[in-house]
Every structure is written in C-alpha cells, then in structure tokens.
Amino acid sequence: MTQPFFSRFPALLRRLVLVVMAAGALTACASRPPAGDAAALAAYQENNDRLEPFNRSMLKADDGLKKVLVRPILKGYRAVVPEAGRKSVVNFMHNLHSPITFVHDVLQGKPNRAGQTLGRLVLNSTVGFFGFFDVAEKMGLPYHSEDFGQTLATWGVGEGSYIYVPLFGPSTIRDGLGLAVDTFLVDPLAWYDRGRHSESWIAWADLGVLYVSTMDDNIDALDELQKSSIDYYSALRSAYRQVRESEIRNGAPPPLEDFDAPP
C-alpha cells in the first residue's frame, strides 16, 4: 500500500497539500453518534475520521484526476521502461531519500536501524551504482523507511483526524505535519534547493519520479482493493491505517491490549 506520503515536495505543492488539509479542517465534520449508541460511537472513534464528508469528496476528485492524468502517464511509463528498469528507479529513490530515514532512526533511539540505513546508503551509493541496484539487500541489510510522522508516533503523539489529499492519498493530521518538517528541515534536497544553487528543477524532477514510481508500485493493488470492496473509501481508510500502524511498529505485531479479550 502506498505510503504516505511524500515528504519531499517543491514549495508550490507543499502549500497545495497544506491548503487542502486546512480546507478539510474547516468543512463540516462527520456527525458524532449520540452517546447512547455505544456501537456507533465506538466505530466513529475507531475510524478517527471527523472529516469524512470532505474526504469522500476528495477521493472522488482523486479518481477523476487519476483517470485523466495519472493513468495515461503510468501507461506510457510502463510501455517505455521495462519492469527491471522500474525496479531500479524505485531502488534509486529509496537510496536518495535514505538520509531522512537515518535521521529518524536516530531520533527514535534505534542505533541498530540507523547503522543499517547508513550501511545501505554507503553500499548502494558505491557498489550499487548510486542506488540503482540494491546490493545491500543481498548482503543482509533490508530496506526500511522512516519519517517524522512515525517519529512523532513513537514519541506518543496522537495521529489526529484521517484526511485524504487528491493525488497524494490517505494521511493524518500528524503525518501531514511530519511531512512539512521533513520537507523543510530534514531532506538534503530541500537544503540544496534553498541554498545558493536554487536548482528548483531538481525538486520537481524528484517529485515527478517519486510519484510515478510509487504509483506504479501501488496502482494495481489499489485497483484490486476497489474492485473487491463494497465501500472503497472505508476499505482504503482501513488498509492505510493498518499499513501505517505496522510501519510505526516496524513490522512488530500489535500489543496484546489491541486485541479483544477472549469471551
């Protein structure tokens, strides 16, 4: 499932995402069930989707944008670039953004994972030809990603309301704020772009390649989820939250208190 989401945006798109999130916060929220309806209230709290009417309209708009813009681009990309080449592009983007993961490994107090990320960066940037080949994986250093949203979660910050942003997909208020921090303060490309070089085309190229490669990785799974779901919106929200929670736990199983006690 697509991650969410992209913590490296040119300034214009950063502002667009934040404007959409602010607009969602100002729209009519989903009605809170009455306190007497325990089941409905529990479901409302579990979904954590106070902006549901706004989010559903954003998902509908997103479907239209994907139909007229994203899918034709992906079709051309797949026609021109073979599968092995597309995998190499994904590897390159993982390597390019590994400094962000390294910073958050450190902030989360996980030196072993930080060492693994640093080792991957060195190996793949050299032996792996700038990251196009994931030689570190074959040497026992598997890929993982971290971002400031995950770091905030490990520090005990709640996720805030679920929100859907067209083109960029599902997120939460916490992860949206984390995205802004990674963009402004953590990403080496952002520092380079803000410096004397002011090579804004680099940020746009980074965004374009990251978006296309990520969608290429996820579009088939999203299509299958949509076909098999009675309510695609609810299914996507549930899938996103499950994936995100697994990322925050670094793949570990949920704590026992997350499961219902046996009857």
**Per-residue pLDDT reduced to its tens digit, 130-165:** 999 999 999 999 999 999 999 999 999 999 889 998
pTM reported for the whole predicted model: 0.80
Q: Name the residue with higher pLDDT: 29 or 128.
A: 128
User: What pLDDT score does 180 carry?
Assistant: 82
117 pLDDT band, cuts 50/70/90, is very high
Number of Cα atoms under 13 Å in the Cβ half of residue 197: 12
19 Cβ contact partners less than 8 Å away, ≥ 6 residues apart = none
The runs of H, that is alpha helices, within the chain are 11-26, 38-47, 52-65, 71-80, 83-96, 98-107, 111-126, 135-138, 148-154, 173-181, 188-194, 200-228, 232-248
**Which of 127, 126, 120 is closest to 95 using CA atoms?**
120
Would you say residue 40 has pLDDT above 50? no
pLDDT digits (tens, 9 = 90+) for 209-243: 888 999 999 999 999 999 999 999 999 999 999 99
